[in-house]
Amino acid sequence: MWGTLAVTVALAADAITFSATTTVVEGGMPELVFGSRVHGHVKVDLACAGRSYRLDTDVAPDGSYRLELDGLGVGRHPCSGKLRLDEPDGAWGEMPLTLEVALLPALSFAFEPGDLDLDGGSLRARPSRPLAKADVERIGVGGVQLGGVQVDLSDPSAPHFTWSPGEEVLKLRVTGTDAAGLAGFLELSPWSYEVPHDDVVFASGSHALEASEVPKLEQCWADMQGVVAKYGDVVTIQLFVAGFTDTVGAAGSNEGLSQRRAQTIARWFRERGFGGEIHHQGFGERVLAVATADETDEAANRRAVYILAAEVPPISDGLPARRWTKVP
């Protein structure tokens, strides 16, 4: 908000100017900033939502004088008052001040896994209030800006972004601006890579890693190093190790066993030198690769999944929980 103050005929019509920052995000500071083109003395008295604010100062040409409106809560607050300018020769002038101050919650975005379709090239955003403008940056391998995003703001409360699929997207950055000009951001890193591998074979009931099984992990390690080298400059890569069992034994015992085995593998990668965060989780016999009856010895179900990802894997049929344990 911008304005000018006209005083008595003896003064120039724009002797005092002011700008007002009246719409801010919660935690910001609304304020009035006055400028003078004359020598004199300015008094400002303003009331906003039961709070009183005063500026009482000498002014000079090209000076700048700030009145901060602190202590206001979230919401919209009418303000009224007056400004008086007194010049050294006795000339003076007054003007009323009327404005509204708005402190708004930060513009934020909610996100659900179904909002993003990487294969189909679309994203639907969920801003905390309607948007006046929106944009998406698509970032690919090496940090390359992929571009080519179409924005549909026909529903400002649920903007829709589309692009031609086919390019590998590592990161998405949504920038939205509301009607007040306040910006909010959403950053997504949907990239993930399931590491192909031969499953480590553990002795029955054991989670100890046999020396004969280590070459299987070494093969994974070589693959993982290549992946980190290719993508690690754009996204922060984490490792998630999920363990599973067959249906022999009690379900509770199997879940605990799968957790310990996943932990064993996760710790091996930590000791081998993986520098990112590592997490493990055991699912026992809840997710069978091969459907079997209870108490069935099926080797294909005694398995693990290794996922390199920038974000925690979403809940899915294959990973039905998010109770990951971080390896120190």
Q: Which CATH architecture has domain 2-104?
A: Sandwich (2.60)
Confidence at 318, pLDDT banded by 50, 70, 90:
very high
Total residues found in the chain within this entry: 328
Q: In what order do the strands lie in the sheet with 150-152?
A: 116-117, 122-124, 160-162, 150-152
Q: Which of the 8 DSSP states describes residue 145? A: B
Give the domain ranges of the chain. Answer: 2-104, 109-188, 192-326
Burial of 202 (0-12, 13-18, 19+ CB in 10 A): buried
Q: What is the DSSP string of 184-215?
A: EEEEE---EEEPP-PPPPPPTT--PPPGGGHH
Q: Would the pLDDT of 13 be above 70?
A: no
Q: Would the pLDDT of 203 be above 90?
A: no
Report how far residue 129's alpha carbon sits from residue 159's, in angstroms, rounded to the nearest whole number: 11
The tens digit of pLDDT for each residue in 20-51 reads 999 999 989 999 999 999 999 999 999 999 99
The tens digit of pLDDT for each residue in 239-279 reads 999 999 999 999 999 999 999 999 999 999 999 999 999 99
Q: Which of the 8 DSSP states describes residue 286? A: S
Q: Which CATH class is domain 192-326?
A: alpha beta
**Mean pLDDT over residues 85-95, rounded?**
90
Of 200-209, 228-237, 316-325, the one with minimum mean pLDDT is 200-209
**Mean pLDDT over residues 220-229, rounded?**
97
Confidence at 222, pLDDT banded by 50, 70, 90:
very high
Which of 83-97, 200-214, 225-239 is modeled with the greatest confidence? Answer: 225-239
Half-sphere exposure of 197 (CA within 13 A, CB side): 26
The CATH code for residues 109-188 is 2.60.40.1220
Q: Do residues 39 and 55 touch, judged by C-beta distance below 8 A?
A: no
Report how far residue 221's alpha carbon sits from residue 219's, in angstroms, rounded to the nearest whole number: 5
Q: Supply the pLDDT for residue 6.
A: 36
Of 178, 33, 41, 157, nearest to 102 by C-alpha is 178
Q: What is the DSSP string of 246-273?
A: -SSS-HHHHHHHHHHHHHHHHHHHHHHT
Answer yes or no: same fold for 2-104 and 109-188. yes
**Mean pLDDT over residues 197-214, rounded?**
94
Neighbour tally for 313: CB within 10 Å: 20
Q: Is the pTM of this model over 0.85?
A: no
Q: Rounded to an integer, what is the distance from CA 259 to the centroid of its chain?
A: 31
Residue 299's SS3 state is helix
